[in-house]
Amino acid sequence: MDVQKLVSEMTLKEKASLLSGADFWHTKAVERLGLPEFMMCDGPNGLRKQDGESDHLGLFTSISTVCYPTASAVASSWDEEMADKLGQMLGDECLREDVSMLLGPGLNMKRSPVCGRNFEYYSEDPFLAGKIAAAYIKGVQSKGVAACPKHFAANNQEYRRMSGNSVVDERTLHEIYLQAFEMAVKEAKPKSIMCAYNMLNGTYLSENKYMLTEVLRDKWGFDGFVVTDWSAGKDAVKGVEAGLDLVMPGGPKDHEEAVIRAVESGVLDEAKVDRAVINILNAFNWTLENKLSGNRPSDETTRKADYKFARELAENSAVLLKNNRVLPIRSDRKVLFVGEFAKKPRYQGSGSSHINSAFVSNAFDAAADRNISFVQGYDTGEKDLKRIAMLREEAVEAAEKADIIVIFAGLPASYESEGFDRTNINLPTDQDKLIEELTHLGKKTVVVMHNGAPVAMPWIDRVDAVLDMFLAGDGVGEATVRLLYGEANPSGKLSESYPYKLSDNPSYLNFPGEAGNPVYAEGVFIGYRYYEKKHMPVLFPFGHGLSYTEFEYSDLEISSDRITDEDTVTVSIDVWNVGRYPGKEVVQLYVGDNESRANRPLKELKAFKKIELKPEEKETVTFTLDKRAFSYYDERIHDFRVESGDFTIMVGASSSDIRHAASIYVEGSTDIPLTVTERTAIADILETKKGKKVLGPIIKKTLEDHKNESVDEDAMGEGGNEMFERMVLEMPLLSLVSFDIMTKEETDKLVKKLNR
């Protein structure tokens, strides 16, 4: 369609009608001009299209389809290629079902491990989340289906997420909570973005011009349309003014009529309505122009291929947290499977992403040809204490005859869902007791976890192995068995830290906030950024994951040890598979600022790559780092900048398993705007280019003179020179007069010169 021409031919009523939906899943059609309706659906980990007519809440039965691993699992694969392929698979399904836009992926950071929707989000780290999301979006949109990352932004809890006010400082907002969205926009160019329900610093996201226009469009170059989360629209006119395009769902004409009244009364410029309509139609026109053939058959062959990929993704995402040489299990071992989840696995979360699965594999059936037996051990729905104790006793009795006990544990479906947060990170008490009792038998014990977010493991020192499957989708049972028996080698790495207890988490005292109004007081220090800065031990660190083989890192090289922030630097390292099994390794690169004016984390993830190696095979992994890898968000310039100084480049197997490191000096080029007064701190003046040039020589001479005069350290004691230097740098300019370093007239002239 010729969008500009179409809009020019529309009446105001027709244009206003396009700014809100026709029903729960469709935009309005303009039959007079031949404009069709367009359909959008939930489905970050499987298509959730309603079967038949949609209900007014969008809650009725959806089509039978394949459920893929949820985002918390996909991110733990650290595999951009598989994320891209997942997007392609979902794009194909959208084509078959005539769906124009898929609502996802979820890009909210995991501020707290108890957010009820964390299974739908990728990571506590914005770089990892951004890279996986960009790959996923590219996959979806390669099929001509629009992707819609959500929920923009700072929507990190379920408690009062529809009305709460997230209070976040500018630096934290851009470094942590917006970075993944920024990466997705710039690298994958999504055709839509969904704004969140909540307020950000007192303004609803659906009416937040700073977010929807100044950041999203002006700063990042977003050229798609902004749609509300369902029922997140507030004031129609404020929304259009701020940069909101489409309000969903539809039905009532209140929004349409409010827009018409505002334009006719002169309150709202019709050009802004045109802009919103053009944004929407450009995106849907793109789907019409780019959709591939939707004739891919939805037959049994296709379904099997989709399921096979779901199983492969589950295998690629699972994380082997611990292994005392019990895994992989030898075929001659007599194995007891314990736990309800061995037959009825927990494989997805609850809420708007819940998939109507056609088939879900379970570990018991998948291992039917092996030397296994089964006992229930626990019942997630059981309330009777005698029955619970009896199930546990049966498990202990059955375990006496086994060589290896494999306990299938995890969080019941009622624990993790959209709409509410968890109150703790514990497993159900009966599961913890079951594991404890089984570890007392002196048998080799393996725990297989089914969970969408971190859990406490008070028994971790007494079990021999832990395999975390997360919420692994329809292929969970087969994938688990293949991993346990070594037919697949675990290669996932944690996309979030596992704390020992909830109170260790940096947001603990501010989550979910008074009346659902959280203050993000921890700043940029979420996840591993906090635990490492505090030197606080964790159960398992960010990026951790074991394999059945071993990898050796050697020969770290950087292309230069001194660059400017306009340059790039190449980092390479050799990785060898020195074990007995073929396997995959995630090579992780972190950067630390050795000395910064800003309070920065000890290290931050800036690059990663997943590689596959046969035994004795070697690969040279190469990364390229640019300015952004060394920068932080400086509120004084409202942008990212590099502070000149020494940085450390670290490469390893997790955030706490750094194998090699190298130093590099980066010269920053961005100057700091500063209006100098006699009360401005000397250190702040010296941070500017003019300050270094004008005041720098004076301060340097002052420090050198003091050093020469204080030859005898006894005058001020050890460290006296350092004390004097710090005192000088931290004092206001006027103090130079008090210390007889400059006269008042000289400082006045200096102030004028610095501000010229």
- The residues carrying an active-site annotation are 229
* Distance between start and end Cα atoms, the chain: 55
What percent helix, strand, coil does the chain show, rounded to 5? 35, 20, 45
Amino acid at the residue 13? K
- DSSP characters over 353-409: T--EES----HHHHTTTSSEEEE----TT---HHHHHHHHHHHHHHHTT-SEEEEEE
Give the Cα separation of 272 and 241 in Å (integer): 7
Radius of gyration of the chain (CA): 29
**3-state SS of 487-532?**
CCCCCCCCCCCECCCHHHCCCHHHCCCECCECECCCCCCCCHHHHH
Any idea which residue has 């309000």 for tokens?
247
List all residues 6 or more positions away from 421 whose beta carbon is below 8 Å from its beta carbon: 112, 114, 115, 116, 157, 158, 159, 512
Q: Say if residue 71 is exposed, middle or buried (CB neighbours under 10 Å; 0-12, 13-18, 19+).
A: buried
96 near 296, Cβ under 8 Å?
yes
Give the Cα separation of 449 and 370 in Å (integer): 21
What SS3 class is residue 79? Answer: coil
Nearest to 547 by CA among 619, 611, 460: 611
What DSSP character marks residue 30? B
For residue 490, say if its preceding peptide bond is cis, omega within 30 degrees of 0. no
Q: Say if residue 99 is exposed, middle or buried (CB neighbours under 10 Å; 0-12, 13-18, 19+).
A: buried
Give the Cα separation of 121 and 110 in Å (integer): 7
580 to each of 548, 583, 617, 754, how far by Cα in Å? 8, 9, 11, 66
List all residues 6 or more positions away from 243 whose beta carbon is below 8 Å from its beta carbon: 209, 212, 213, 216, 217, 226
List all residues 6 or more positions away from 178 whose beta carbon is below 8 Å from its beta carbon: 126, 153, 215
193 near 211, Cβ under 8 Å?
no
Nearest to 660 by CA among 628, 629, 621, 627: 621
Nearest to 204 by CA among 173, 170, 232: 232
The angle, 0 to 180 degrees and rounded to 10, between the axes of the packed helices 696-709 and 720-730 is 160
Q: Pairing between strand 192-195 and 225-228?
A: parallel
Structure tokens at 656: 């706490």
